[in-house]
Amino acid sequence: MSLPDYKTSQKHLSAAPPHSPVVQLNVGGHLFSTTLSTLRKHPDSKLAEMFSGPPKLLTDAQGRCFIDRDGSHFGPVLDFLRSEQMPSENILEVYKEAVHYDIKPLVKRLEDAPQLFGELVGRQPFLSRVPHYKENIEVLIRIARAEAIAARHSNILICVLRTEEDLGFYDNAISTLEADKESVVTFGPWNAVPSVKDLLDCVKTDIESQGYRVSVQPHHPEKSFLSRSYNFFYKLTFTWW
C-alpha cells in the first residue's frame, strides 16, 4: 500500500509549468500575469532578484507567486517594465513601490515628474531646515487626540518664529498668552526662503496626509495698554466629527 502524498502549504513553486516564460502573480491579493523577461528587465532591481536563480517566493493556493505587499499600485510598475509607460496619477504611491522594488530607472523618472520634483527638491529640503519639524507634527497630533474626549474640536496654539530676531522676542511673546503656555508648540527659526504661510501650509498638509481634518487661523493674544503685539501665534483646530 502506498503512502499518502502530503504537500506543504508553503510551497516554493514557479507558478508556471516547467520552462514557461509566463508568470502568474498574487501581490497582496491583486492578480497579475506577465513574463519572466519583464520582471527581470532591470537585473539590478530587487524585483528581478526575486525571479532570478532558485525560486524565492511562496505560492498561493492556486500556485501563483505570492508577494506579501499591497498590490494596489503594482500595475503601473508593471506597465513601466513592459513599455516604459509612466503613471499619470497616484505618483507618490507608485514612487514608493518603485523604491521598494529598487527599479532605479522608474525611481529617477518619477523624481523628475512635476508632482514629485517640487516635493523632493523644494518642500522636503526646506522642512529639513526647520528644527524638530517632524517631532512637532507628532506632538501636535498627540495633544489633539488627548483633548478630543467628549469634544468636537481640539484647539492647539502654535508659535512660528521666522527669524533669529523673532526668537529674541519669544519669552515676551509667550508671556502675553492666557492659555497653558506649556502646550504651545513652537516652529523655527529657519534659514530658507519660504515664509510663515508656507510653513503653516506644510503643517496642515502633513497632518491631513494622516487622515485628520485641520484648519489654521491667526491667534491674537489679549494685550494690555503697554504690551507689544506679537504676530507669532496661530490656532490649529482639529475637527473630529
State whether 198 and 141 are in the same domain. yes
pLDDT the model gives residue 56: 87
Per-residue pLDDT of the chain (241 residues; tens, 9 = 90+): 444 443 433 444 444 444 568 999 999 999 999 999 999 999 999 999 999 988 889 999 999 999 999 999 999 999 999 999 999 999 999 999 999 999 999 999 999 999 899 999 999 999 999 999 999 999 999 999 999 999 999 999 999 999 999 999 999 888 888 766 778 999 999 999 999 999 999 999 999 999 999 999 999 877 654 456 789 999 999 999 9
pLDDT the model gives residue 229: 72
State whether 105 and 137 are in the same domain. no
- Classify 157 as helix, strand or coil: strand
pLDDT the model gives residue 47: 97
pLDDT the model gives residue 10: 42
Residue 33 contacts residue 23 (beta carbons within 8 Å): yes
* Residue 91, in any domain of the structure: yes
> What are the residues whose beta carbons fall under 8 Å from the beta carbon of 131, sequence distance 6 or more?
187, 188, 190
* Residue 10, in any domain of the structure: no
State whether 233 and 140 are in the same domain. yes
State whether 107 and 172 are in the same domain. no
pLDDT the model gives residue 68: 96
CA-nearest of 20, 117, 103, 5 to 63 is 20
Domain range for 227 is 133-239
| Domain final residue pick, 77, 112, 147 | 112
Separation between Cα atoms, residue 173 and residue 221, nearest integer Å: 9
Model confidence, pTM = 0.76
* CA angle (98 as vertex; 97, 99 as ends), nearest 5: 90
Polymer length of the chain:
241
* Residue 117, in any domain of the structure: no
CATH of the domain at 102: 3.30.710.10
* Residue 13, in any domain of the structure: no
DSSP 132: T
End-to-end CA distance of the chain: 69
Question: What distances in angstroms separate CA 143 from CA 140, 170, 173, 235, one per listed residue?
Answer: 5, 22, 22, 13
State whether 63 and 148 are in the same domain. no
* Residue 69, in any domain of the structure: yes
* Residue 3, in any domain of the structure: no
pLDDT the model gives residue 177: 85
Domain count, the chain: 2
* Residue 128, in any domain of the structure: no
Q: Is 178 left (phi over 0), alpha (psi -120 to 50) or beta?
A: alpha
For 177-196, b/e burial (b = at least 16 CB within 10 A) is beeeeeebbbbbbbeeebeb
* Residue 119, in any domain of the structure: no
CA-nearest of 31, 47, 117, 114 to 80 is 47
Residue 188 contacts residue 203 (beta carbons within 8 Å): no
